[in-house]
Structure 1
Amino acid sequence: MPPHTTIVIGAGMAGLAAACTLQEAGYDVKILEGRDRLGGRTYTEHSLGVSNDLGAAWIHGPLANPMTTFAKRFDVGTAYTDFDNRFGNSTIAFDADGSQLDTAQFTTGMRFFNGAYDRLFTSVLYERPSRDVRSMADLYRSGLPGVGELSEVERKGFYYGSVVRVQYGDAADLHEIDWRLSNRYVKLPGGDLILPGGGFGRIVAGLADGLTIETDTVVESIAYGEDGVRVRTNRGEERADHVIVTVPLGVLKAGRIAFFPALPAEKQAAIQRIGYGHYEKLALKFPRCFWPTEPHRLNYLPGTQPELFTSWVNVAHYSGEPILVAMHAGSRARHINRWPDDKYIAEAMIVLRKIFGADVPDPVAYVRTEWETDPFALGSYSYSAVGGYPEDRPTLAAPVAERVHFAGEATHPRYFGTVHGAWETGVRAAREIMSNA
């Protein structure tokens, strides 16, 4: 058995991947987790009577995706989510006054955006734009072709696709996203799967079974040198040959873990340049369904700024339970995070009653997320920010002194912001240690 000992910081998907890989190879490995639970930014909650993923909620691209394999292994029920309304009945949209928009025209507009963006992206690359064109907002100002040919409802669908959905994908606003770097993301094929039958929590529990994990253990500092690493926590000090740091980018940005000696300047700069977004959810359970259960999602265009409650997941479609989940991203997520629970719910009900009528009942239970203020997350997931460089993610991923290794979705050059990306980076970090044994 190899003599090397490794401490993994964080029991999210990257940390579990690293620990599983090392343990299967015969290495001595322990995970230190600051929370009282496992999973990190995958968190399945059950108080509403269903498996409610309050963090990561989809397997993006189930073909050749390790999460699909794990879902089958651990008997997690999955269902397809049709974001683009390919089948014509999975999305319905409502205008600012609550009236339902023509679904076919709205969907045409959303799809038209995809083609227009691809054409614009290709043409702008060919024309070698000035350095002033950095953000998605800058790119849009260059002009998305063909918009003038759309009907009014199609333009609303186009707007929803070009602004609202992009913000949900990156958890950031258009002016914050670098369009070149964002396009380095690679989407796996096969659509998107939601996990109503057990959630990511069941995968986390299955992967964690048999691993050595200490919860409620907050890492404060890491000292490293030729003789190994010393990890100081709220419980004392631990020594090992290697450490794998899998904490979210927001925790690194905030300097919650001190490094001795300090991390290389180029790594510190990369940590600050990579964007870290915000994505929050409000799940409302009602005494009955007052909305159609067939659509996967409900979309709303408020027509005022900030645009709130624009996207709802219809849990009733997947489980039959009368639950709607409102989602907010970027500055909108930060906006609603300033609201107390009663105001948040009241504002949501104003929208739902505008759409479905004054007799809509009050919710009987609710759950909200606050990832922005969670001390072990300080946000949701990474995005490619204006001011960044292509080498930032590889720089963040690079080991230091062959002792300190880094993993997590923000370190992946192609699958950033995803659970499978986090998993792959954990495996990569473990193999770095194994290759130097």
Structure 2
Amino acid sequence: MDARGPAGGMPRRAFLAATLGGLAVTLAACTDGGPTPTPTPTRTPAPSPSPSAGGVPAPEAFLRSRWSRDPFTRGAFSFDAVGSTPELRTSLADPIADRLVIAGEGTSADAPGTVHGAYAEGVRAARTIADLADEGDRIAVIGAGIAGLAAARTLADAGYDVVVVEAGTTLGGRLRTVEDDAFGGPVVLGSVFASDGAELRPILAQAGVATRPFAPVIEVRTPDGTVVESSAAGWDAIATAQEWAAGNSADVSLTNALIRSGAVPISGEPGADGLSPRDWLRNAISTGVEPTTGAAPTRVSAQRFDPDLVWRPTSRVVSGWTALIDRLADGLAIAGSSVVTNITVGDEGVGLRLDTGESLRMQRVIVTASVGVLKTDTITFDPPLPLLHQRAISVLGMGASDVVWLAFDEPFWRADAAGSPDDAAEDANGSTDEPAAAADGEVAATTDTDANVFTLVGATPTVAAWLDVGVDPRRPILLGILAAEHARRIAELDDADALAAILAALEPFAAP
């Protein structure tokens, strides 16, 4: 089931009632710190575990995200669609009339689609606005995701008068974390990974966010459950396509490059394992390209797609993001359930119109709405955004990616169902979960050889990959990643139909 609003939501214990630029404004649901960013998931009665037709037992617990259906995100993260360049992202971040700055992972030229990229862009936007601001300026930050909170925190710490205007009832945006006893702790419904981004690492440590090194060990199975040795045929075809695309002045889609480079048609003749190069190309796309970008290869830039981003070692957040969100939001004036519908930029300031009909007048504004939201008419700008900003929003893509969490009685997908992928000895000798600052430099990769990432070849998978995240053998947990059109399709289903489709996708991974 998907996680919806919290039982208590954002505390409504303080109201912002101030004369801002001569306009009396009351913003409901405005906190002065101590927010509760963790929504409580809705839960249907837990199904009784019993084998399905494909041998997959019913889970003890089920949670999922549905970012493409969220009107305040319209997707999971931005990606480089055809024609995208780092310069486009940078231009989207340029100040407008010295009063408005757009920020978020979508404006990051170095780390788009990442938590540390969003955080760094929030800090960058705050510093830009601070350089432009006059003494006594009131500043609004639209959006209480990681970029918005980073911007507001930076400005507040510098002594500026800041208010955060958030459309939803919770804080954290796409870093949503819920507490669920059935999973033994926090469940992250957004990004489950953290990098060693220079700006983010210290604040993770200060907030006490616990991470665990995650070194992907991939096991590939066929639809009948046979474990097969991975082939590079698919990635070789993609490399050929990208080499061809790099020699062209005009960007094309990855699909177009595959065709025009001659990488496809690709042989459909099966080898000794019953699999063809065509099968492996489909595997590379569905389990690599699509979960990395959230998009089909028909939309992905052949010149900009980076294969090195696929399943690289990183760190998994095991304590959830709540501590980080709490730390950034502490003491900030935050107006929840306040949807900004219009932004008017003038010589004397910036006017914000809310969906309630209320207005707010500020001197400077930082907008951290996602690229997906900026593509819609959710927020209108008067005057319209500059042409370079409009082009960036039009060209950049917004990917669809969701996670599904399943808790089971037994780890039926493991070769040794009694073991743990991270080795139960870790728990016997003390947990390895620790705040992000515990290690200097690069996160050490694990030395485990047991598979912890499961993918499918020989058919198009509904779930791009399954991650074995049940470190504690007493709590076998799988994390499924849905991507591109599969994510959008499953997001449209109700919980019962979504769970049925997801369990069917698990059938090849039921231990033979």
TM-score normalised to structure 2 length: 0.59
Task: Give the distance between the partners of 2:186 and 2:295, measured in 1 at CA.
Answer: 27
Quote the residue 2:502 is aligned against. 348
Q: Where does 1:39-50 land on structure 2 (aligned, <5 Å)?
A: 39-47=172-180, 48-50=183-185
Shift of 1:203: 1.4
Q: Structure 1 residues 4 and 40 mapped into 2: Cα distance closer, same or farther (>3 Å)?
A: same
Say yes or no: does 1:261 pair with 2:388. Answer: no
Shift of 1:144: 5.1
Q: Structure 1 residues 117 and 150 mapped into 2: Cα distance closer, same or farther (>3 Å)?
A: farther
Q: Which shows bigger deviation, 334-343 or 248-257?
A: 334-343
2:204 to 71, 88, 107: 71
Quote the residue 2:161 is aligned against. 28
**Equivalent residues of 1:78, 1:194 under 8 A apart:** yes
**Equivalent residues of 1:57, 1:200 under 8 A apart:** no
Shift of 1:208: 1.4
SS in 2 for 1:250: helix
2:346 to 213, 217, 225: 225
Q: Structure 1 residues 192 and 98 mapped into 2: Cα distance closer, same or farther (>3 Å)?
A: same
CA RMSD in angstroms comes to 3.2
Unmatched segments (≥5 aa) in structure 2: 1-133, 415-419, 422-449
Quote the residue 2:477 is aligned against. 323
**Equivalent residues of 2:215, 2:312 under 8 A apart:** no
Q: Structure 1 residues 123 and 270 mapped into 2: Cα distance closer, same or farther (>3 Å)?
A: closer
Q: Structure 1 residues 193 and 40 mapped into 2: Cα distance closer, same or farther (>3 Å)?
A: same
Measured against aligned partners, the alpha-carbon deviations of 1:200-223 in whole angstroms (never above 9, x if no partner) come to 222112211122212111112111
Quote the residue 2:11 is aligned against. none
- Higher helix proportion: 1
**Equivalent residues of 2:143, 2:367 under 8 A apart:** yes
Shift of 1:24: 2.0
Shift of 1:78: 0.9
Shift of 1:288: 3.1
Quote the residue 1:165 is aligned against. 288
Q: Which amino acid aligns with 2:175?
A: T
Larger of the two Rg values belongs to structure: 2
Shift of 1:158: 6.0
1:283 to 383, 393, 405: 405
Q: Which amino acid aligns with 1:55?
A: G
Quote the residue 1:100 is aligned against. 227
Q: Structure 1 residues 114 and 20 mapped into 2: Cα distance closer, same or farther (>3 Å)?
A: farther
Task: Give the distance between the partners of 2:310 and 2:409, measured in 1 at CA.
Answer: 38
Measured against aligned partners, the alpha-carbon deviations of 1:176-225 in whole angstroms (never above 9, x if no partner) come to 11122335x996998311101x2222211221112221211111211120
Q: Structure 1 residues 130 and 24 mapped into 2: Cα distance closer, same or farther (>3 Å)?
A: closer
Q: Which amino acid aligns with 1:269?
A: R
Q: Which amino acid aligns with 1:137?
A: T
SS in 2 for 1:251: helix
Q: Structure 1 residues 158 and 71 mapped into 2: Cα distance closer, same or farther (>3 Å)?
A: farther
Quote the residue 1:299 is aligned against. 454
Quote the residue 2:194 is aligned against. 59
Q: Which amino acid aligns with 2:376?
A: A
Task: Give the distance between the partners of 1:138 and 1:345, measured in 2 at CA.
Answer: 34
Task: Give the distance between the partners of 2:165 and 2:209, measured in 1 at CA.
Answer: 26
TM-score normalised to structure 1 length: 0.68
Q: Structure 1 residues 345 and 38 mapped into 2: Cα distance closer, same or farther (>3 Å)?
A: same
Q: Which amino acid aligns with 1:244?
A: I
Q: How many residues align?
A: 337
Q: Which amino acid aligns with 1:134?
A: V
Quote the residue 1:140 is aligned against. 258
Q: Which amino acid aligns with 2:146?
A: M
Say yes or no: does 1:208 pair with 2:329. Answer: yes
**Equivalent residues of 2:454, 2:465 under 8 A apart:** yes
SS in 1 for 2:410: coil
Residue identity over aligned pairs, in percent, reads: 26
Q: Structure 1 residues 261 and 32 mapped into 2: Cα distance closer, same or farther (>3 Å)?
A: same
Q: Structure 1 residues 124 and 276 mapped into 2: Cα distance closer, same or farther (>3 Å)?
A: closer
Task: Give the distance between the partners of 1:310 and 1:8, measured in 2 at CA.
Answer: 35
Unmatched segments (≥5 aa) in structure 1: 84-89, 359-437
